[in-house]
Amino acid sequence: MDTKELARKIRIHTLEMTSRGGSSHVGAAFSMADIVAVLYGNVLNVDPNDPKKPSRDRFILSKGHAGAAIYAALAETGFFPVEKLKTHYQDGSNLSGHVSHKGIPGVELSTGSLGHGLPVGTGMAKAAKLRNDSHRVIVLLGDGECDEGSNWEAILFAAHHKLDNLVAIVDYNKIQSLATVSETLGLEPFTDKWQSFGWNVVEVDGHDHVSLKNSLSAEARVPGKPTCVLAHTIKGRGVSFMENSVLWHYRTARGEEFDAALKELEDAA
């Protein structure tokens, strides 16, 4: 699958969904769009015709506020009709602003409150180990989300139990809801923190599809250690005026802003 094209479609859908519903978090969805496209286009062993297949890889979006991008990826890869995306954030819909599993094939876990995905993924990885299953569990976290102590409980647990079937990807766009990460609660030296907790850490450019594919491939597994893929990203990536801006964590693109953003994404084809 052309993952660059998938990423572009994810961004266009996300822009339309958040604009139509007047919802937030377009910047957070854009920063991870390439990661999500590589996962669904090239990495995850998942089957839209058998979403609960026992041997599938488990993917959890822990930064649930960026759920629009996951719904878009699932629709584009055949889990449900693309048409359904139009109901996102609308009255009576089950496509909620934060990702939900109820009635949505392909979503493993509903999230929205931060710091929940990695502990649950750790339980799934532990269960796979107990059964000697070979699938992986991949959890995508935000950087601001790493303020939550529950993540660090799971990080301790996963290393102690040698869960090398677990991958945590951090969408490290360096901006959280009100300010930059470094102004809010600094995470650096971030790589050192994960390493000192016993994880294998790989730093990548989170918009470079080849690097992402290599670092996320099953072959990249380091025996006995869980892996953290620290993906350096740009918040709002793909629309010039949204990039690297705190504003676009919450702002909704409307009117001329929407048209300009859509044009940039369409021209990128």
Partner 1 sequence: MRDHFIERLSLMAEQDPRIMLITGDLGFCVFDDYRDRFPNQFINAGIAEQNMVGLATGLALEGHIVFTYSIANFVFMRCLEQIRNDASYHDCNVNVVCVGGGFSYGALGVSHHATEDLAIMRSLPGLTVVSPCDHWEASEATEAVADTAGVSYLRLDKSSAPNSYENGEEFRLGKTRRVRDGFDVTLAATGGILSNALAAAEELAKHGIQARVLSVHTLKPLDAEALVSAAKETTGIVTIEEHTVDGGLGGAVAESLLESGVMPGFFHRIGLREGFSSIVGSQNYLRTHYGMDHEAIVAKVIQLLGARKTRLMEKHVA
In whole angstroms, give the CA distance from residue 33 to residue 260: 19
For partner 1, which is the closer residue by CB, 156 or 185? 156
CA atoms within 13 A on the CB side of 184: 16
For partner 1, which is the closer residue by CB, 5 or 153? 153
Instruction: Please state the separation of Cα 212 from the chain's center in Å.
Output: 13
- Residue 127 has φ and ψ, to the nearest 5°, of -60, -40
Q: How far is the CB of 103 from partner 1 (least distance, A)?
A: 13
Please pick, from the candidates 14, 111, 165, 215, the single residue that binds partner 1 as defined by CB under 8 A: 111
Please pick, from the candidates 1, 127, 222, 247, the single residue that binds partner 1 as defined by CB under 8 A: 127
Tokens of 39: 């996962």
The sign of the torsion formed by the CA atoms of 9, 231, 62, 24 equals: negative
For partner 1, which is the closer residue by CB, 149 or 223? 149
* Contact between 7 and 34 (Cβ < 8 Å): yes
Which positions ≥6 away from 174 have C-beta within 8 Å? Answer: 143, 180, 181, 182, 235
Site for partner 1 in 150-169 (CB under 8 A): 150, 153-154, 156-157
In whole angstroms, give the CA distance from residue 121 to residue 113: 15
Q: How far is the CB of 141 from partner 1 (least distance, A)?
A: 13
For partner 1, which is the closer residue by CB, 101 or 263? 101
For partner 1, which is the closer residue by CB, 27 or 121? 121
Task: Write the interaction track for partner 1 spanning residues 201-240; mark x where CB under 8 A is met and - where it is not.
Answer: ----------------------------------------
Number of residues interacting with partner 1: please give it, by CB under 8 A: 28
Q: Tell me which stretch binds partner 1 (CB under 8 A): 79-87, 120-128, 172-180, 220-228.
A: 120-128
Strand order in the sheet with 137-142: 58-61, 137-142, 166-172, 227-232, 200-205
Positions that interact with partner 1 (CB under 8 A): 101, 108-113, 115-116, 118-128, 130-131, 149-150, 153-154, 156-157
